[in-house]
Amino acid sequence: MISYDKFLDWAENRFGDVVVKGDEIMINSMFCEEHGLKTDYKHHLSCNPSGGKLNLPNGVYHCWKTNEGGSLVSLVMKIDGCAYDEALERLGGTDVELYALEQQVADMFLNKSRVVETPTENGLKLPEHTSWITELSKDDFWRVEAEVYLENRKLNPRDYMLCTGGEHKNRIVIPYYDAQGKLIYWNARFLTDSKKVPKYRGPHKDCGVGKGDVVYMPDGWPPAGSKLHVTEGEFDAKSISMSGLHACAVGGKELNDKQAAMLLAYKPVLCFDADQAGAGALLNIGDGLKKKGFDEVYFVRPPKQFKDWNQMLIEIGPKMINAYITQNLKLYTNFTSLEQEILQIRI
């Protein structure tokens, strides 16, 4: 079991305004703002270090306004941007707790709040035969394949969907949502690399939405004014968000007017791949954002030994991503002053 006193100390240090009601520690919910709700709801995040009715060893939390929930260890991971074992240590837990149990608790809350997607007004809907990976049978062949693929990339299978039939069979489905949680797009990534089929496929054009019309936010839309780390692909955005930083993906090396408008509320940090194509995209998009009136635009490139942020996640973990980005991001000024530095070949 985690320590009640250590969690209370952690909550008071992070939030200040806490209320103790028996076994429960009530704090202000950060999830309200993430879900685009009013932020004046006080003490709507209930935290129980004793694990609630099920006596869960890693404690449990539940937001009564957004239905977000999970273990207290996962809450510390989210707020502090640390790994599982470090969060457990901060709460006085022991190393006999299994990460699998952590995932079961998270899935329990996640599945409660998930609803079947219905077509939007423009006809957008998820591919047929698509469901959340963790809702498939544990013996399902395609589930096992998808879990192996994602776990090799250090990504959590519970965050993704899978298509098991039809024209998008054998593809990881990545849903895009707006700030209100409404489905606005999806991208389907083939599980294996093959020259015979495209790696990514989105909805048919007749739905009226293309990848240039949307922005992918892996963990909800952050508060206005936040630094938002902009990547090319969804897995890179998720890799950065796992480090505790806000991130999004724009689906490639270009940024159109619609996408730029979606970023106006934020301070973009351009985080494109470490290759020359990524450098060119950084310069073009950086100049474009400055011309569109963005006062603060930042950039950071992955270390030279990693081609992108997901490779960095795989090899050295989320904590190092956070530290590296925080220490190395720079203010983007203009093409001329940064051209030589950004375009230099990294060996």
What's the pLDDT at 67?
A: 76
Tell me, yes or no, whether 149 and 193 share the same domain: yes
How far is it, in rounded angstroms, from Cα 302 to Cα 278?
10
Confidence of residue 161 (pLDDT cuts 50, 70, 90): very high
Question: The tokens 């990848």 sit on which residue?
Answer: 211
pLDDT greater than 80 at residue 110:
no
**Whole-angstrom Cα Rg for the chain:** 21
Residue 124 lies inside a defined structural domain of this protein: no
The one-letter amino acid at 1: M
Range of the domain at 169: 130-213
Report whether pLDDT(270) > 60.
Answer: yes
CA atoms of 297 and 132, how far apart (whole Å): 36
For 97-145, the DSSP string reads: S-HHHHHHHHHHHHHHH-------TT---PPTTEEEGGGS-TT-HHHHH
Q: Domain boundary at 113, 139, 171, which?
A: 113
Q: What is the pLDDT of residues 227-257, one digit of tens each?
A: 999 999 999 999 999 999 999 999 988 898 9
pLDDT in tens, 49-89: 988 777 777 888 988 877 788 888 888 988 888 877 788 88
Mean pLDDT of 255-264: 92
CA–CA distance, 255 with 222 (Å, rounded to integer): 19
- Are 282 and 302 in contact by the 8 Å Cβ rule? The answer is no
Examine residue 312 and state whether it is found in any structural domain, yes or no: yes
- Residue 123 falls inside a structural domain: no
Give the pair of three-digit tokens for residue 266: 């934020």
Over residues 132-154, the pLDDT tens digits come to 998 898 888 889 999 999 999 99
Span of 83-92, 117-126, 168-177, 228-237 with lowest mean pLDDT: 117-126
The length of the chain in residues reads 347
Residue closest to 168 by CA, chosen among 199, 201, 138:
201
The domain total for the chain is 3
**Whether residues 56 and 140 fall in one domain:** no
Does the residue 119 lie in any domain? no
**Which among 113, 145, 165 is the end of a domain?**
113
Q: C-alpha 272: how far from its chain's center?
A: 16
Q: What is the pLDDT of residue 218?
A: 93
- 219 lies in some domain: no
Q: What is the CATH number of the domain that holds 272?
A: 3.40.1360.10
Burial 232-264 (b: 16+ CB within 10 A, else e): bbbbbbbbbbbbbbbbbbbbeeebeeebbebbe
**What pLDDT shows up at residue 335?**
52
The dihedrals phi and psi of 227, each to the nearest 5 degrees, come to -70, 130
Question: pTM of the full predicted structure?
Answer: 0.66
The per-residue pLDDT for 26 is 92
**Angle, helices 318-328/309-316, rounded to nearest 10 degrees:** 130
Is the per-residue pLDDT at 327 higher than 60? yes
